[in-house]
Amino acid sequence: MVSRNIASDLLLIAILTAFQVFILNRITLFGQYIPVLYPVFVMFYPFFRNQFQFLGLSFLLGLCVDAFLGTWGINAFATTVIAYFRTIIFRTSTDTTTDFFSFQSIQWTQFIFFIITSIFIHQFLVQYIEFFKLDRFFEILFNVIVTSIISFVFILAYTLAFKIKQKV
């Protein structure tokens, strides 16, 4: 098991921000969809760690992405919201009632549903805050769905590559 502390969390934030800004934002699928990977920090942060520190680090991650992309806090807001509601998202996707959370004790379908739900909420907040117009409601919703699916594939590849289900 990998030991995590504040220094390793800050290093992971720096790596995820750099990877998102300098690599993934240059990949445009189907002409307009950009995969998003940086919310994996929020999704797979250990449940037993300090929650205030977690919210602060999640905000910092979103703020770092915003600083490079010039999006004025949209990513910081969306990342902090999914960090704040992560326990609720996890409980509803896994139907668990205990206070002990572990990715090791859930089934793959529940694990995948947790990832899909988290990334959809994140993308929904980012896209609707950035592009919101009532006359473009379905266009933005379609963009959220496609971007969520593409991001899900990248997050699932990240999960399988680093065996997140066993480590967290």
Q: What is the pLDDT of residue 40?
A: 94
Task: Name every residue whose Cβ is closer than 8 Å to that of residue 104 and which is 6 or more positions away in sequence.
Answer: 165, 166, 168
CA quadruple 75, 81, 84, 85: dihedral sign? negative
Residue 166 pLDDT > 60, yes or no?
A: no
Please write the tens of the pLDDT for every residue from 81-133.
Answer: 999 999 899 888 877 666 565 667 778 888 899 999 999 999 999 999 988 77
Q: What is the pLDDT of residue 6?
A: 92
Judging by beta carbons within 10 Å of its beta carbon (0-12, 13-18, 19+), is residue 90 exposed, middle or buried?
A: buried
Please write the tens of the pLDDT for every residue from 24-53.
Answer: 999 999 888 999 999 999 999 988 889 999
Element (H, E) at 128: helix 108-131
Query: Chain-wide mean pLDDT for the chain?
Result: 88
